[in-house]
C-alpha cells in the first residue's frame, strides 16, 4: 500500500488512532502543529481545548490539516524532521519504499550513539575499580553528553520541552496584553453567578456578554463561544479577539471602552470591560417610551463621541487602525 499521494483523511482508522495516542502524550502534537505545520498560537490554543472535551487534539489537528489536502507522505517527512521515529513507523506502510531508509538511518545513528555511550562506560569500569560520577570532569567529555542531549531534544518527548513551549506561548499573549491583568476563569464564573442567564447583557457573533461583579466592581464580560460545526469561524473570532486585546492595551481614549482584563486557559476565553450602565445605542434607539427616548442633543453627542474614537484609531499610527464592525449595538449611548 505504498502510495505517495494518499491523503490524510484516507489514513486507516487503526493507524490514525495509534498515531493520535503517541502524539497526544506529553503534548507532542503542539510541536508538530506550531513548528512544522505553521499553525499560529490561536489555532493551537483551540486545539488544546479538545482535551477538555475528552477528545484527541492530534485527531482534530489531522482533520484540520487534512482539509488542505495534505498527504501521509508529507506527515512522514514532518515526523522525520521532529525525529519522531515511532510515529514514522506507524505510517511507514503508506509511504514509498525509498523513504523508509530515513528510519533505518535514524536507527543506525541511535545504535551508534548507544554504542559510543556503552564503550565509554565499559572503559570507565575497566579503569576504575569503583565507578564514580565526577561532575567536575563532565566538561572534559562533551562529545557524549552533547550527542545524548541532542537525541533527547530531537525526539521532543521530554516534558521540559513542552513546559518551555507553553511558557513561550503565554509570554506572547502576556506581551500583547501589557499591563492588562490576566484573570482566572473561576473568578469570572463566580462574578456572574456561574454565568447566570439573568446576567446576560447581549449576544453576538463572537459570544455572549454577561454583567458581573469582579473585585467589587461592575464589569461586562465577553465570553467567546465556539459555534458548532464552524471551527474556522471560531478561529477567526479568536484571532480578532487577540487583536482587540492588543489594540485596547496600546490605544487608550475617552471614547474607547476600557478593557480591565482577560482570561485564557479556561473552557472559554473571556475579555472583561468596564460596565456601561446606559446600555447600547441599539437598545436606546428602540425605546418607544417618550419619557425615556434618546433625545436629539444626546444622539448628536453619541455621534460626535463615536467619530472622535474612530478618528483617533485612524490617525494614531502610520497605518489607520480599522474597527470594521461599527454598528449601534457596539456603541455605548452614555458613560457614567
Q: If 0-12 CB within 10 Å is exposed, 13-18 middle and 19+ buried, where does residue 256 land?
A: middle
- The helix (run of H) or strand (run of E) holding residue 328 is none
325 is catalytic: yes
Q: If 0-12 CB within 10 Å is exposed, 13-18 middle and 19+ buried, where does residue 124 land?
A: middle
Exactly one of 122, 128, 254, 325 is catalytic; name it. Answer: 325
Is the CB of residue 249 less than 8 Å from the CB of residue 273? no
How many of the other CB atoms lie within 10 Å of CB of 319? Answer: 7
CA separation for the pair 149, 11 (Å, rounded):
33
Residue whose entry in the numeric block shows the C-alpha cell 479538545: 50
The answer on whether 319 is annotated among ligand-binding residues is: no
How many of the other CB atoms lie within 10 Å of CB of 188? Answer: 23
Which residues are part of a known binding site? 222
Residues marked active site are found at 325
- Which residues are part of a known binding site for ATP? 222
Amino acid at each position: 500500500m505504498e502510495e505517495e499521494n494518499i491523503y490524510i483523511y484516507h489514513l486507516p482508522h487503526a493507524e490514525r488512532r495509534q498515531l493520535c495516542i503517541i502524539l497526544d502524550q506529553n503534548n507532542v502534537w503542539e510541536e508538530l502543529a506550531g513548528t512544522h505545520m505553521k499553525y499560529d498560537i490561536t489555532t493551537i490554543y483551540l486545539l488544546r481545548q479538545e482535551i477538555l472535551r475528552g477528545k484527541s487534539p492530534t485527531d482534530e489537528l489531522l482533520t484540520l490539516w487534512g482539509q488542505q489536502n495534505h498527504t501521509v507522505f508529507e506527515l512522514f517527512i514532518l515526523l522525520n524532521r521532529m525525529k519522531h521515529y515511532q510515529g514514522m513507523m506507524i505510517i511507514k506502510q503508506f509511504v514509498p519504499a525509498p523513504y523508509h531508509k530515513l528510519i533505518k538511518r535514524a536507527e543506525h545513528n541511535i545504535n551508534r550513539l548507544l554504542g559510543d555511550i556503552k564503550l565509554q562506560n565499559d572503559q570507565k569500569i575497566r579503569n576504575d575499580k569503583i565507578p564514580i560520577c565526577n561532575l567536575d570532569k563532565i566538561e572534559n567529555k562533551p562529545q557524549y553528553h552533547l550527542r545524548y542531549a541532542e537525541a533527547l531534544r530531537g525526539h521532543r518527548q521530554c516534558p521540559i520541552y513542552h513546559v518551555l513551549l507553553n511558557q513561550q506561548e503565554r509570554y506572547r499573549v502576556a506581551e500583547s496584553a501589557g499591563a492588562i491583568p490576566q484573570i482566572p476563569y473561576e473568578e469570572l464564573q463566580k462574578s456572574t453567578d456561574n454565568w447566570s442567564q439573568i446576567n446576560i447583557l447581549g449576544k453576538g457573533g463572537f459570544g455572549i456578554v454577561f454583567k458581573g461583579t469582579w473585585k467589587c466592581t461592575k464589569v461586562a464580560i465577553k465570553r467567546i463561544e465556539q459555534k458548532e460545526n464552524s471551527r474556522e469561524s471560531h478561529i477567526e473570532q479568536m484571532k480578532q479577539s487577540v487583536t482587540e486585546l492588543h489594540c485596547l492595551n496600546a490605544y487608550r481614549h475617552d471614547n474607547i471602552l476600557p478593557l480591565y482584563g482577560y482570561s485564557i486557559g479556561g473552557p472559554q476565553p473571556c475579555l472583561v470591560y468596564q460596565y456601561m450602565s446606559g446600555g447600547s445605542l441599539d437598545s436606546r434607539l428602540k425605546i418607544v417610551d417618550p419619557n425615556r427616548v434618546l433625545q436629539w442633543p444626546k444622539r448628536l453627542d453619541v455621534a460626535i463621541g463615536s467619530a472622535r474614537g474612530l478618528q483617533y484609531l485612524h490617525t494614531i499610527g502610520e497605518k489607520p487602525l480599522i474597527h470594521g464592525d461599527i454598528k449601534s449595538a457596539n456603541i455605548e449611548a452614555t458613560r457614567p
